[in-house]
Amino acid sequence: MDADSRSKILIAGGTAAVAVGTYLPWLGTNPELPPDAQIPILYSPGMGVGIERFDVALLCAVGLVLLVRAGHRRTVARSATPLAVGLGTLIFPVYYLSQSTLTGFSATFVPALGWYLTITGGALFTVAGGLELQAIVRRPKAIVSP
């Protein structure tokens, strides 16, 4: 499989994962809590199904990757954009979990499927951009003969 095909598959997988991940809930109640645990009644963005506040920004970032890839051929921008969006898509969900003491891996509200899919999509974008950027940096220079 050549590098361009691999990159297309990674970008398509990342796009699908982020699109579905932003639609699905990011938080759910911790199933490890005891049956008599007091669970606060609160709603924060990411607890419901559908597109909410931050989801629009993530989807716009994915759209930017697709737009840049459609318009450019073998440039640094074409490689750097998925890398930057992928890193941002990896960092934002982690930041989102750290915003409250009620959210986390062992807290009252734990990451749900949407959170994991978004992280996976960010990882796929990061790998695709990194592999393309590495191929551009390692590309041999043309030798001009007299």
3-class DSSP state of 22: helix
Answer yes or no: is 20 within a domain: yes
Share of the chain above pLDDT 90, in %: 30
Structure-block tokens of residue 136: 């551009």
Domain-embedded: residue 56? yes
Per-residue confidence (pLDDT) for residue 146, from 0 to 100:
61
85 inside domain: yes
Counting the structural domains of the chain, the total is 1
Q: Whose structure tokens read 């982020």? A: 18
> Which residue, chain included where needed, has tokens 């993530």?
58
The pLDDT assigned to 35 comes to 76
Model-level pTM greater than 0.85? no
Residue 34 lies in a domain: no
Tokens of 53: 């506040």
Q: Does residue 142 fall inside a structural domain?
A: no
Looking at residue 16, its pLDDT comes to 95
Q: Which residues of the chain have pLDDT under 70?
A: 3, 34, 40, 42-47, 72, 74, 138-146
Question: For residue 127, what pLDDT is reported?
Answer: 93
Domain contains 145:
no
State the alpha helices, DSSP H only, in 24-75.
53-71
Range of the domain at 83: 3-29+41-137
The DSSP symbol for 144 reads P
Q: Which pair of tokens denotes residue 35?
A: 């049956």
Contact between 95 and 9 under an 8 Å Cβ cutoff? The reply is: no
Query: 129-133: long-range contacts (C-beta < 8 A, 24 or more apart)?
Result: 129/79, 129/80, 129/81, 129/82, 129/83, 129/84, 129/85, 129/86, 130/83, 131/3, 131/6, 131/7, 131/10, 132/3, 132/7, 132/78, 132/79, 132/82, 132/83, 133/76, 133/79, 133/80, 133/83
Residue 143 within any structural domain of the chain: no
Contact (Cβ atoms closer than 8 angstroms) between residue 128 and residue 7: yes
